[in-house]
Structure 1
Amino acid sequence: MNHLLKRTGVWLLTLLLLLLLNAAAVPAFAQNAAAAADPLTANIDKRLADLTRDENSVGLHAGIAVYDLNEKAFLYRHNAQRTYVPASNLKLFTTIAALDKLGPDYQWKTEVYASGRLLPSGVLNGDLIVKGYGDPGLSVEDLQGIAAALKEKGLTQVNGDLLVDDSYFDDVRLGSGWMWDDEPYGYSAQLSALAVHKNSITVTITPAKQAGEAPTLTMEPDTSYIRLVNNLKTVEGTTSEVSVERPRGTNTVVFSGTIGIQAQPYQEDVTMEDPALFAAEVWKRQLAAAGITLRPQAKTAKTTVTTGVPLHTHLSKPLSELLVELNKESDNFYAEMLLKTLGATQKGEGSAKAGSEVVADVLKRAGVDAGYQQVDGSGLSRFNWITAEQMVKLLAFVQEQEYRDALETSLPIAGVDGTLKSRLQGTPAERNVIAKTGSMGGVNSLSGYVTAKNGHKLAFSILINGIYKSKYARDLQDQIAILLAQYPELSAPDGYEAQEPATYKLSALLDPILDGADQSGITAGVIVKALDETGDDAVWYERNADTLMTPASNLKLLTSAASLIQLGSEYTFKTELYGSAPLPKNGVLNGDLYVKGYGDPTLHTEDSLKVQEGVSVEEIAGWLKAQGIKRINGNLVLDDSYFDDQRLGLGWAWDDESYYYNPLIGALALNRGTVMVEYQPGAKAGAAVQVNLLPKTAYVKVINEAKTVAAGEENTFAITRDRGTNTIRVTGNLPLGTKGDYERVPVEEPALYFGTVLRETLEKEGITFAGSGKVSVGTVPAQAVKWTEFASQPLREIVSYLNKKSDNFYAEMLLKTLGAVKGEEGSAAAGATIVRDTVQSLGGPTNFDMVDGSGLTRYNLISARHILSVLEGMSSQETFGAYYDSLPVAGVDGTLQDRMKGTAAEQNVRAKTGSMTGVNSLSGYVTTPDGKKLAFSILLNGYAKDGKTFTDMQDQIAIALASFQD
């Protein structure tokens, strides 16, 4: 008994010590009871209120937290528990975790191995291998040093190949949700465990001496691994307009635009595919420069080292030194390499996922164990969601750690260096604020430390989303930083009184739904308006109605409304057929056959890919056969010039490219830009998975490596497409008993897809082509003869499918059609201008950003009030019937078929859905039991445990509206 008591006493004492240590490691976060009356609160609140009065800033929303590290209390909080996209502020999560787990003195190694014997003569009869371990700072000079060290060790000749090993990290080259149009630029460089020059080259553009001539392009380091295409021209003046494009999946970089003859040389860091092979090319040059001879036929390739002793090991600079560049210059590449290093060293897997788990371990010790999402290390992804309070807790945690100084040394100093060099100069915050910045379209953040006037050290975080004009966000951050530097010597602002939140007819009904505990991290923009009432009384409810948010597919409400108004509900899309000559009487066309597209989204093949009536490839082929055409002694030319050649929407994610909802767009496109891959398990375990392609076309290549496995085994089946190609890979294991299914996969160059299938269909009908005849993209020449044209179904039918099924392809085709018919060109930008003009004509404000037609890009920023203005305006238009009928009906059809069944909303609510990671929306119409017609918009952004949290909120609101009696 005494032994038991002793053991119990020791255990209790140990527990008490652990609790005390934990209390020391994680500061208590008490709320300052007097905050409401504090001048700091009044000053910040006034600035936030002022922003709501300007159309250029009314949409921004901020999460702000200020914590006194001396008093262990919050001085200010505003939406501090809501989640925001943090941009580069996420680098603080990665940096702090790295310091915690690796230590400031951590160094990366790069090893050189020999696969054969190094003879006394200095000849290596075997391969020379360099293995990377994720050093983000490995430079050309470092490779020079490694080559020199090998020469000093006696290596003079390599009779094998030069191999590189980047297996320490996974082979996912880009971060989750990164945008394809960022890829050419250095800030979006691909990731590899062996990386040189941050996996990019620096291209310098120097103007020619005479206008009209091409400027000179040089690259550092010089390499044959990347091909530069110079479409630039030197022009008079001092300004430059340079665009950079690297077609997906290639190492060709195209420079277009102009550079002024008197302009300074222009520099751009550009990226590449498979950067470990780039490192091999650079390595090869350094070996030759060091006097180490390579056999002429020596190749560079990738390998994996499993055994052996390195000939040489190179060590990087310490982590603490590299962090200075990471945070002061906000270097994305360093942050991503660091995240994967954390995964490799702590979890045994060099992936962003494993690295994020390590960050989560550190955050948990800091008192943050849930309510956020991290998918990359730099903040470049818009899938990241954090709160200002979480950031402040982490910054407070750091103050109790030995590596505190290493973190603080790495942060930009206001008015002095890094990304804060030009900010806050000549203010009390200069040299006083040290903080990490973060910015991208619609996002701006600032988090760090400031020493207040009373000597207290404050941790702060300001996360701002929904930014229409970036100046207003930066000004707000700077104003708050100055206030904190003067704290507590502040006075309340003149003439400012805190405003009580407005109340509305439905406040008591809807507030509890939006204020639930599970919704604390979500920003909700909501507005409800009675269509048969006027004035202020017509607004039955609003909350954050002007806040600019990502709408997802609710943006289709604008695209479809503008299309119906501008084009008319009976508008039809045409597809024209031309010949080099009139229809031949003998059935032989001695010339080319032309097909010109005008954006018909319904062109299809007569198989399972058909979703609407309209023009089919078979119909076109049948018409030609009916005209007696038997042979074409020329080419099949596809004219898709009605639209521009931008195939993907700006801001679409690279890792969505294999999925049907991310199609490529062209004026002549077939089957919504996709093919269908049907699949089912083989007859027995071990057999190949059965695959069928629709349409049966040679335009795509299907490589089937998938195997059937026993029932109950893990299903790893996947269908992907090699980037920038029409090669589809079917991989993984499909268990017996799995129900057969299909995937639609997008294809490259929609017009060539259409043309290839048309030619194959013509040949099946007995219409032959000359052996030299090609399928190509071109334009219909002026002398060509129009044979006929085919017309689609009316627009009202097309809009119905668009909204009921939330079809991205249809929406993008309509947007470009608006630009072509009513604007300057068939582009998304021109179409968006027409949509904006339409919103204005309906009485809505236009201070929103619209970049695509479907809502797939996260560049779109719009408010619930904008959307409601369209819903309200459409209710008085002639085309309202078609618009209203196009919307999904709750519990009946479309994307609402399975929602709100058995409630007052069933067969009543007609609304457009929208969902992406961290985004969910529902906007439309509902009728109350006493016959009141309401329009509503619900936009939800932020982190939630699952999508059901979002849809439950929306359904509860919709049901409440459908049940409400005034």
Structure 2
Amino acid sequence: MNQLLVFRRVCMCFLLFALVLQFAASPAFAREDTAVRSALADSIEKYLTDLQRDENSMGLYAGIAVYDLTDNSYAYRHNAERHFIPASNMKLLTTVAGLDTLGPDYQWKTELYLQGKVGPDGVLQGDLVLKGYGDPTLTPADLQLMASALKQAGIKRISGNLLLDESYFDDARLGVGWMWDDEPYGYSAQLSALSVHKNTVTLTVTPGKAVHAPPTLTMEPATAYIKVNNKVQTVAGRETTITLERPRGKNEIVLTGTIGLAAKPYEEHVTLEDPALFVGDVWKQQLLAQGIGLNPGAAVKKTVLQSGVPFYTHLSKPLGEVIVELNKESDNFYAEMLLKTLGAAQKGAGSFAAGSEAVADVMKRAGIESGYRQVDGSGLSRFNLISPEQMVRLLAFAHEQSYSVQLEKSLPVAGVDGTLKSRMLGTAAEKKLIAKTGSMSGVNSLSGYVTAQNGHKLAFSILINGIYKSKYARDLQDYIGTLLATYPEIAPVQGYQPEKEKTYALSALLDPLFEQPQAVGVTAGVLVKSLDKTGDEAIFYEKNADALFTPASNLKLLTTAAALIRLGEDYTFKTELYGDAPVAKNGVQQGNLYVKGYGDPSLHTENALKVQDGVSIEKIAAWIKQQGIKRIQGNLVLDESYFDTQRLGLGWAWDDESYDYNPTLGALAVNRGTVMVEYKPAAKAGESVSFNLLPKTTYVQIVNESETVEAGQENTFAIVRDRGTNTIRLTGNLPLDHPGGYERVPVEEPAKYVGTILKEALESEGVQFAPGSQLLVQPVPATAVKWKEFASEPLAEIVPYVNKKSDNFYAEMLLKTLGAVEKGEGSAAAGAQVVQEAVAALGGKTNFDMVDGSGLTRYNLISVRHIAAVLEGMAKQPTFSTYEASLPVAGVDGTLKNRLAKTAAASRLHAKTGSMTGVNSLSGYLTTERGEKLVVSIIFNGFVEDEDFFVKLQDQIVSLIATYE
């Protein structure tokens, strides 16, 4: 027996012993009796096999666990240990933890304090304080009752201010990885310990009384805290095409579009910024409605109450009742407020992290020590990862607890209510299946309980990711749910034989790598194909080759390939100058100066922000000076109309907005949409951290709240940008022994940024603007006179920068340029359409989702087969040498400079990397030691304790392939 086999057996024995210990405090879990349950397994496996034959469903991959709670054994498992994004199934963890630690009878309180004495005239000589403890159910009617209590106590006027205490929770308003484009909608409401009406207003737009008549707009609760700009028009018919927008960081709502004269009213729950102040506005209205007066100068502001006895305490409904709405209606706000309450009550900190720690304590009691990731309470974040087996263990644990009745009452019932009201109607599962649903783009889940035909109770979890068409995922869940309701009376599947797993030339080498214990939670897609062979002989290895994964930056392979094919290697980006008249000969230019952008990603200033040659702001300013212009009498007008005004990619995370990899986009942008902040410790401790801004511009404001501390102390220095603004804050402590560094920070409104630094550059060159001149963003008029066209470096120089540096800004500008050139629409959607057309022309299929050009959004879903088809197709294109040379080279440059340096793959692998939390990818070209040219695509999605394992596993795979003979 060889040493490796002995080692594996020892590890297995240790693992089994550890599992026995782990599950000692949880329900006993036994292996499934495959002989007894073969009909169930065959039925599900055949259904899954059939799904893989349909192009609309072949990309999905599922994890399924079914556990018989009556005889304590598994009825079925399929990929049950793999980790999946669970969507709203995460609410099960939050709910069970809430019931377990707080109890079904727990009630949230909201307290009212009087700071001062009430005189005989009914005037409170002091402030009125409202303190919240995270009640998610507080309503304007509850505040009315509190105001009424004041009135009944004889209070007629408040002489001081209305103070609001939300300190029971931290100030993180949104969850980790929540997406900016979800923010206007009620399911992504901001959080505060002091909240009302789920921190939303309900807008209702009712058609006008005639075509072209303005529609009626109502808001509940009515508040001046939010401004609404209603541009909706009433038109003939029944259709409604209303678009709602709430600019990031602002309490402004813009409604555009049309509503049909015969249409039903349009209703939307819209979120807001800084919820406690919204509570203050609603609270103020309730006081006034009760006849309680306020002084004209009374302020509504925040405080932290230090002591006192509450005058009045409002209590919510018990938790056991609250979770009914939480789970049946899948209410994200309730779930997040419960999670932060758990953190505050159990860990002394009302935060997502502390709440997740409190949940983890309960998970440990359920026998789940670790091996999953929770970052929020609702499942809205795609950073959450859990396995079906872990979900079933939690359900089995909860089933044995005293609160199991309340938990089960909170779950939707198939064919009856909640999010399952319209599902499994008329099937055996109707009224017998209770479960939590969960759905997001590419994700669908269903976990809960079902009463089987024999009276046994089954706990189950069906987690599905990689969904191209959501119908197929729901149908799979409903099919399994119905089977379980008839269990064990399931008819055998006639003539079905499980497909034998295919083996390939590299199977013996690569398969063992995926059996490593660290890989148990990972779903891997791998395709290795020879460019020197044809047919089946060309396929060296496949694993989940059609599964749809989040690819991260491997998506840039598609964007750059399409750019080279559709635009050509010699394509250049232009930037144009116009005036209202030809260049004046007397040095005084009448009218406006216009600058029009066409998406040049390399436009720069001449400083450390420059990464490529091409057009600089200084070059433009110098040309204008060379024309003899000394004064411009009009405005500086910036034209960014070549692209749309969507500044961020759909699905980009709100908490990435201060980082350079999350740039703001526009057809006229400079320095990749960023400024650079260089920093270093001050000369001595106690002084503010020193900084330098590049370019030196008034476009951004630096607020330095940081401090230099003694050497060896903790480094807490951070650079963040206030959302939706150009205010950059330096915070925290920087030790004296820190070497210093720099960060690039994105700015808002990139065209205005260009205009500001161009104007500053012109003024430094002695070119002045008339007093009162403005920076305007609008199209160049048809009557303007073109002065000059500046050109970037050719695309053959641009593409290598995109791929070797994995630059998101460049990739997104390329995508929108593709849309503008090919479709007449400079949008990501139009660009993605062009890319899909290019993929089809290269011989690939287009049953994948592409939403941005860089891979930053988790909405993207693509398989390794799609990527390999692009790589293979590009190998036959005239631009192949440019394309291949643009990719990082293992052990040599780009994002592969420090990888595979001492392996057979060094210098032989040209590939694009990609990484995000829970995602890692590597795709490109590999020449083996014997000289065979291969296409390799590897994507990992899932959970590992140490994400360096993803890279190590990829490097193991590539190293083995490189030496294959």
Tell me the TM-score normalised to structure 1 length: 0.97
Q: Distance in 2 between matches of 1:339 and 1:54?
A: 40
Residue 11 of structure 2 corresponds to: none
Question: Where do residues 37-56 of structure 1 align in structure 2 (5 Å cutoff)?
Answer: 38-56=38-56
Q: Distance in 1 between matches of 2:561 and 2:712?
A: 48
Q: Report the identity percentage.
A: 67
Q: SS of the residue aligned with 1:438? A: strand
Q: How many residues align?
A: 947
The alpha-carbon deviation at position 629 of structure 1 amounts to 1.1
Q: Distance in 2 between matches of 1:181 and 1:649?
A: 9
Q: Distance in 2 between matches of 1:879 and 1:953?
A: 31
Residue 963 of structure 1 corresponds to: 963
8 Å CA contact 2:574–2:598 kept in 1: the answer is: yes
Rate the CA distance shift 1:231–1:792 in 2: closer, same or farther, 3 A.
same
Amino acid at match of 1:71: D
Question: Where do residues 158-307 of structure 1 align in structure 2 (5 Å cutoff)?
Answer: 158-307=158-307
The alpha-carbon deviation at position 775 of structure 1 amounts to 1.5
Spell out, residue by residue over 1:370-424, the C-alpha distance to the aligned partner (whole angstroms, 9 max, x if none): 1110000000000000000000000000111110001000000110000000111
Q: Distance in 1 between matches of 2:656 and 2:734?
A: 22
Amino acid at match of 1:660: D
Residue 790 of structure 1 corresponds to: 790
Q: Distance in 1 between matches of 2:718 and 2:881?
A: 42
Please tell me whether residue 701 in structure 1 is matched to residue 697 in structure 2: no
Q: Distance in 1 between matches of 2:71 and 2:243?
A: 52
Amino acid at match of 1:233: Q
Residue 590 of structure 2 corresponds to: 590
Residue 385 of structure 1 corresponds to: 385
Of stretches 31-40 and 567-576 in structure 1, the one that deviates more from structure 2 is 31-40
Q: SS of the residue aligned with 2:191? A: coil
The alpha-carbon deviation at position 36 of structure 1 amounts to 8.2
Question: Where do residues 395-794 of structure 1 align in structure 2 (5 Å cutoff)?
Answer: 395-794=395-794
Q: SS of the residue aligned with 1:126? A: strand
Q: Distance in 1 between matches of 2:492 and 2:242?
A: 49
The alpha-carbon deviation at position 881 of structure 1 amounts to 0.7
Spell out, residue by residue over 1:430-454, the C-alpha distance to the aligned partner (whole angstroms, 9 max, x if none): 0000000000100000000000000
The alpha-carbon deviation at position 25 of structure 1 amounts to 4.9
Rate the CA distance shift 1:22–1:954 in 2: closer, same or farther, 3 A.
closer
Question: Where do residues 831-910 of structure 1 align in structure 2 (5 Å cutoff)?
Answer: 831-910=831-910
Amino acid at match of 1:819: G
The alpha-carbon deviation at position 869 of structure 1 amounts to 0.3
Residue 4 of structure 2 corresponds to: none
Amino acid at match of 1:453: Q
Residue 16 of structure 1 corresponds to: none
The alpha-carbon deviation at position 24 of structure 1 amounts to 7.9
Q: Distance in 1 between matches of 2:214 and 2:384?
A: 42
Residue 155 of structure 2 corresponds to: 155
Let me know the Cα RMSD of the aligned residues. 1.2
8 Å CA contact 1:202–1:267 kept in 2: the answer is: yes
8 Å CA contact 2:22–2:367 kept in 1: the answer is: no
8 Å CA contact 2:98–2:342 kept in 1: the answer is: yes
8 Å CA contact 1:662–1:746 kept in 2: the answer is: yes
Q: SS of the residue aligned with 1:435? A: strand
8 Å CA contact 1:35–1:41 kept in 2: the answer is: no
Q: Distance in 2 between matches of 1:879 and 1:173?
A: 48
Q: Distance in 1 between matches of 2:807 and 2:21?
A: 56
Amino acid at match of 1:408: E
Q: SS of the residue aligned with 2:232? A: strand
Please tell me whether residue 951 in structure 1 is matched to residue 951 in structure 2: yes
Residue 13 of structure 1 corresponds to: none
8 Å CA contact 1:25–1:397 kept in 2: the answer is: no
Residue 5 of structure 2 corresponds to: none
Q: Distance in 2 between matches of 1:672 and 1:292?
A: 54
The alpha-carbon deviation at position 509 of structure 1 amounts to 0.8
Q: Distance in 2 between matches of 1:287 and 1:587?
A: 64
Q: Distance in 2 between matches of 1:93 and 1:238?
A: 43
8 Å CA contact 2:23–2:367 kept in 1: the answer is: no
8 Å CA contact 2:24–2:367 kept in 1: the answer is: no
Please tell me whether residue 102 in structure 1 is matched to residue 102 in structure 2: yes
Residue 6 of structure 1 corresponds to: none
Q: SS of the residue aligned with 1:127? A: strand
Amino acid at match of 2:687: A
**Mind listing any 5+ residue stretches in structure 1 that lack a counterpart?**
1-18
Amino acid at match of 2:94: T
8 Å CA contact 1:281–1:300 kept in 2: the answer is: yes
The alpha-carbon deviation at position 946 of structure 1 amounts to 2.1
8 Å CA contact 1:214–1:230 kept in 2: the answer is: no
8 Å CA contact 1:889–1:908 kept in 2: the answer is: yes
The alpha-carbon deviation at position 21 of structure 1 amounts to 13
Q: Distance in 2 between matches of 1:878 and 1:692?
A: 46
Q: SS of the residue aligned with 1:914? A: strand
Q: Distance in 2 between matches of 1:562 and 1:23?
A: 52
Amino acid at match of 2:874: M
8 Å CA contact 1:35–1:75 kept in 2: the answer is: no
8 Å CA contact 1:703–1:729 kept in 2: the answer is: yes
Q: Distance in 1 between matches of 2:23 and 2:778?
A: 71
The alpha-carbon deviation at position 818 of structure 1 amounts to 0.1
Q: Distance in 1 between matches of 2:684 and 2:586?
A: 55
The alpha-carbon deviation at position 688 of structure 1 amounts to 1.2
Q: Distance in 2 between matches of 1:20 and 1:813?
A: 55
Amino acid at match of 2:556: K
Q: SS of the residue aligned with 2:935? A: strand
Residue 913 of structure 1 corresponds to: 913
Amino acid at match of 1:647: R
Rate the CA distance shift 1:144–1:43 in 2: closer, same or farther, 3 A.
same
Q: Distance in 2 between matches of 1:829 and 1:36?
A: 51
Amino acid at match of 2:198: K
The alpha-carbon deviation at position 214 of structure 1 amounts to 2.6
Q: Distance in 1 between matches of 2:734 and 2:949?
A: 31
Rate the CA distance shift 1:786–1:22 in 2: closer, same or farther, 3 A.
closer
Amino acid at match of 2:257: G
Amino acid at match of 2:405: D
Q: Distance in 1 between matches of 2:357 and 2:428?
A: 39
Residue 823 of structure 1 corresponds to: 823
8 Å CA contact 1:35–1:76 kept in 2: the answer is: no
Q: Distance in 2 between matches of 1:557 and 1:712?
A: 44
The alpha-carbon deviation at position 299 of structure 1 amounts to 1.7
Rate the CA distance shift 1:21–1:513 in 2: closer, same or farther, 3 A.
closer
Spell out, residue by residue over 1:739-764, the C-alpha distance to the aligned partner (whole angstroms, 9 max, x if none): 11000000000000001000100111
The alpha-carbon deviation at position 239 of structure 1 amounts to 1.8
Q: SS of the residue aligned with 1:176? A: coil
8 Å CA contact 2:33–2:74 kept in 1: the answer is: no
Q: Distance in 2 between matches of 1:494 and 1:536?
A: 31
Q: Distance in 2 between matches of 1:323 and 1:37?
A: 35
The alpha-carbon deviation at position 22 of structure 1 amounts to 9.5
Amino acid at match of 2:361: D
8 Å CA contact 1:232–1:257 kept in 2: the answer is: yes
Residue 326 of structure 1 corresponds to: 326
The alpha-carbon deviation at position 212 of structure 1 amounts to 2.2
Q: Distance in 1 between matches of 2:949 and 2:205?
A: 51
Q: SS of the residue aligned with 1:30? A: coil
Q: Distance in 1 between matches of 2:154 and 2:99?
A: 38
Of stretches 451-460 and 37-46 in structure 1, the one that deviates more from structure 2 is 37-46
The alpha-carbon deviation at position 120 of structure 1 amounts to 3.6
8 Å CA contact 1:528–1:542 kept in 2: the answer is: yes
Q: Distance in 2 between matches of 1:35 and 1:766?
A: 88
Q: Distance in 2 between matches of 1:604 and 1:634?
A: 25
Residue 137 of structure 1 corresponds to: 137
